[in-house]
């Protein structure tokens, strides 16, 4: 069964595709570059071919890594109430929860807001940089799989939403000033989202399988 393809006629290699809406397996050997691929049964858009996605995703991932350290160590907000001033960062917030004996919450907060996003960025940088440099190692395949498996554990967006809710609730009780960590965190969040959305997984898998075929002996 053939896929419905709209776009220019410059051909790239492709393999079996799976429709995530109706679970139809589609085999097609020729798919146009910079085109939209649709399922022939339900019409769901399987993916849109983008230009130079690996290099753009690498650039965004490196930007996010640069922003990561100030985002988690610098104060996110500064609270002034009754003459007292207090400032908190992502790491200090987890330490406060740990000090108050909320061990599970502290561990989950640290994992979802710091450790998992950092590890996913490192995995994405490793994979995209290796493809860009035309380097192949067998760990690249499981690294990219792990990158997708850990997606549900990275909750930068949820933490940002929590910050916004906390600011709204505290505005009537204290004077709040944004810290440098808040701007770094916003840049980290934006760069991470762009690094993920700019990437075409089909292009990555094609590149990895092509290098695996060339590197491994017959």
Please report which confidence band the pLDDT of residue 52 belongs to, taking 50, 70 and 90 as the band edges. Answer: confident
Q: What pLDDT is attached to residue 75?
A: 85
The CATH topology of domain 53-215 is Butyryl-CoA Dehydrogenase, subunit A; domain 3 (1.20.140)
Domain spans in the chain, listed from the N-terminal domain onward: 4-48, 53-215
Beta carbons within 8 Å of 127's beta carbon, 6+ residues apart: 140, 143, 144, 147, 204, 208
Q: Which residues pair with 178 in a beta bridge?
A: 77
> pTM to 2 decimals?
0.74
Q: Does 131 score more than 50 pLDDT? A: yes
- DSSP letter string over 75-112? -SEEEEETTEEEEE-HHHHHHHHHHTT-HHHHHHHHII
Q: Is 101 left (phi over 0), alpha (psi -120 to 50) or beta?
A: left
Please write the tens of the pLDDT for every residue from 1-32.
444 444 333 333 445 667 777 877 776 545 55
Please write the tens of the pLDDT for every residue from 37-50.
777 778 777 666 66
Place of tokens 């990219």: 144
Phi and psi torsions of 51, nearest 5°: -95, 130
Copy the structure tokens of residue 114: 């710091």
């Amino acid at each position: 069964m053939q896929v419905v393809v709209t776009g220019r006629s410059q051909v790239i290699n492709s393999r079996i595709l799976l429709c995530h809406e109706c679970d139809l397996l589609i085999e097609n050997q020729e798919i146009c570059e910079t085109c939209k691929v649709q399922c022939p049964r339900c019409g769901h858009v399987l993916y849109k071919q983008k230009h130079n996605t690996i290099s753009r995703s690498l650039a965004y991932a490196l930007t996010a890594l640069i922003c990561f350290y100030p985002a988690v160590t610098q104060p996110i907000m500064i609270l002034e109430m009754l003459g007292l001033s207090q400032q908190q960062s992502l790491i200090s917030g987890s330490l406060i929860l740990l000090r108050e004996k909320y061990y599970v919450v502290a561990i989950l907060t640290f994992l979802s807001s710091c450790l998992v996003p950092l590890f996913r960025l490192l995995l994405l940088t490793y994979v995209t940089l290796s493809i860009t440099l035309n380097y192949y190692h067998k760990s690249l395949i499981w690294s990219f799989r792990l990158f997708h498996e850990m997606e549900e554990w990275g909750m930068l967006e949820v933490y940002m939403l929590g910050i916004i809710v906390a600011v709204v609730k505290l505005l009537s009780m204290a004077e709040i000033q944004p810290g440098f960590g808040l701007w770094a965190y916003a840049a980290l969040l934006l760069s991470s989202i762009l690094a993920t959305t700019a990437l075409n997984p089909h292009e990555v898998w094609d590149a990895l399988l092509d290098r695996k075929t060339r590197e491994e002996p017959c």
